[in-house]
Amino acid sequence: MRYAFRLAELLGHTPDRRKRPGTIKSIVEHTGLDRHQVASLLKNEAKYIPLEALSRICDYLIDHGYASADQLPGALFAVNAENFWELLARRGEIEIVLGVRENPATQSPDSATVVASDAVLFGELLNGVSTLGGAAKHQGSSDDDDGKKLIVPMPDRIQQSLVWSPGEVSLEDARGRATEVFDGFVDAQGDRGMVCIGSVKSNPVVELLFADAFGCTPFVTEDDVDDVSARSCPFFLRYRDSDPQPGGASAGLRLSKNEDAPDPGFYYENDDGTWSYAGGDNKDTALVFYLFREALGRLDMVLSGFSGRATRLLAKTLAIRGEEFWPPVYEEAGVQIGAYLVQYDNTDTKPSRDDLLFNPGGAAEIMPLSREAIAKRIARR
């Protein structure tokens, strides 16, 4: 069992330098601890914590009203997840974000719809969180060494947020609503997770999440970078010509100014810096991405199929093979990042009604993306 030190979470301290209200200075002045030691504790990077230092931190939290004496030191520690579904289930709150489309016949928010494939994935997500992917019944029925029933982790609250899909309303309105939702999540305090269902084509919060993760400007295209190595994200969604094409760092029409992306679908960077296409040989593709900041207890996640069919198949894959999206491909300095492309065969046949009801998602290739490609971009921040 691994524990995380959640000082930053209790203080509402963010890694964003623009939003730090002198937290380190305040702690140092009150406790007399070394500045580097405090910074290490806030980042959950400390190898050990002397009891004297722990006592002073507890005094600071009590004196400044962040916690009461009876809550400490327990409130400073949290259990880290050991599998994909537990990563979600251990969050205190989960916000699930879906894109909605306006009915052109009525142009009324009351008739706006969520596409069926997103609804299928949403349902499977709820099932996975509430049952730990089917493992909860086994944990809940077992005892620890003292004969006590093991407690199955479960969020205190799960909420749904809806945002406008690009192309359904003006880009300004779609981006405005997405920014409102994402900023509200980022500014909140406490252990929390956000799961965005859909790609940037249908859910503009996805672009904001990727921009925040990799330190780029959201809704600004990178199709014109001089070289593909300058792209901010280690993966890239190439639009279909018929798709809505909102500008963004994580999607577009070209890999760079001098390198084309001829086929629609996902592209990704390899260990050696070259880029590959994930959609060849009639394959359909989905993306699973998550970033967990241990010190904040904050989880950002995207579950995205390139097509509606890939989205439905991803729901089944998560249900029966969720353990294969763990461990994270990158883990350093209290940050865990999982990034996987999932390939599905036989996309040359037309969708049928059976595709909506029966999803053979087990027949998939799950591809962890390059740790080196992710690490290089994290280091740029």
Same domain assignment for residues 177 and 214: yes
What is the average pLDDT value for the chain, to the nearest integer?
87
Calculate what percentage of the chain has a pLDDT beyond 90.
56
Span 316-324, average pLDDT: 93
Q: What is the pLDDT of residue 362?
A: 58
Q: What angle do CA 211, 217, 219 make, to 5 degrees?
A: 85
251-254, long-range: CB < 8 A, 24+ apart: 251/199, 251/200, 251/201, 251/207, 252/221, 252/222, 252/223, 253/223, 254/223, 254/224
Domain boundary among 47, 79, 111: 79
Mapped onto helix, strand or coil, the DSSP state of residue 247 is coil
Same domain assignment for residues 310 and 360: yes
Same domain assignment for residues 314 and 340: yes
265 or 39: which leads in pLDDT: 265
Same domain assignment for residues 205 and 70: no
Same domain assignment for residues 106 and 179: yes
Reported as a single tens digit per residue, the pLDDT across 17-59 is 656 568 888 899 889 988 888 888 888 778 788 889 889 889 8
Closest among 256, 321, 330 to 289, alpha carbons compared: 330
Same domain assignment for residues 153 and 276: yes
Q: What angle do CA 263, 268, 269 make, to 5 degrees?
A: 130
Structure tokens at 180: 């409102």
Same domain assignment for residues 178 and 311: yes
Same domain assignment for residues 234 and 108: yes
User: Does the pLDDT at position 367 exceed 90?
Assistant: yes
Same domain assignment for residues 219 and 265: yes
Domain count along the chain: 2
Same domain assignment for residues 149 and 274: yes
Query: Given pLDDT bands bounded at 50, 70 and 90, which one contains residue 204?
Result: very high
Q: What is the pLDDT of residue 149?
A: 55
Calculate what percentage of the chain has a pLDDT beyond 70.
86
Domain boundary among 44, 60, 79: 79
Reported as a single tens digit per residue, the pLDDT across 87-131 is 999 999 999 999 998 766 656 667 789 999 999 999 999 999 999
Residues spanned by the domain of 28:
3-79
CATH number at residue 68: 1.10.260
Q: What is the pLDDT of residue 75?
A: 82
What's 267's DSSP letter? E
What's 232's DSSP letter? S
User: Does the pLDDT at position 194 exceed 80?
Assistant: yes
Reported as a single tens digit per residue, the pLDDT across 353-364 is 666 555 555 578
Mean pLDDT lowest among 128-137, 250-259, 352-361 = 352-361
The CB-side HSE value for 121 (13 A sphere, CA atoms) comes to 33
Domain boundary among 58, 79, 100: 79
Task: With beta carbons less than 8 A apart as the criterion, state whether 309 and 296 touch.
Answer: no
Q: What is the pLDDT of residue 42?
A: 81
User: Does the pLDDT at position 291 exceed 60?
Assistant: yes
Q: What is the pLDDT of residue 358?
A: 58
Query: Given pLDDT bands bounded at 50, 70 and 90, which one contains residue 294?
Result: confident
Span 206-219, average pLDDT: 96
Same domain assignment for residues 214 and 361: yes
Same domain assignment for residues 17 and 164: no
Mean pLDDT lowest among 13-17, 104-108, 220-224, 297-301 = 104-108
Q: What is the pLDDT of residue 260?
A: 96
Q: What angle do CA 176, 191, 294 make, to 5 degrees?
A: 105
| Phi, psi (degrees; rounded to nearest 5) at 3 | -115, 150
Q: Tell me if the pTM is above 0.85.
A: no
User: Does the pLDDT at position 170 exceed 70?
Assistant: yes
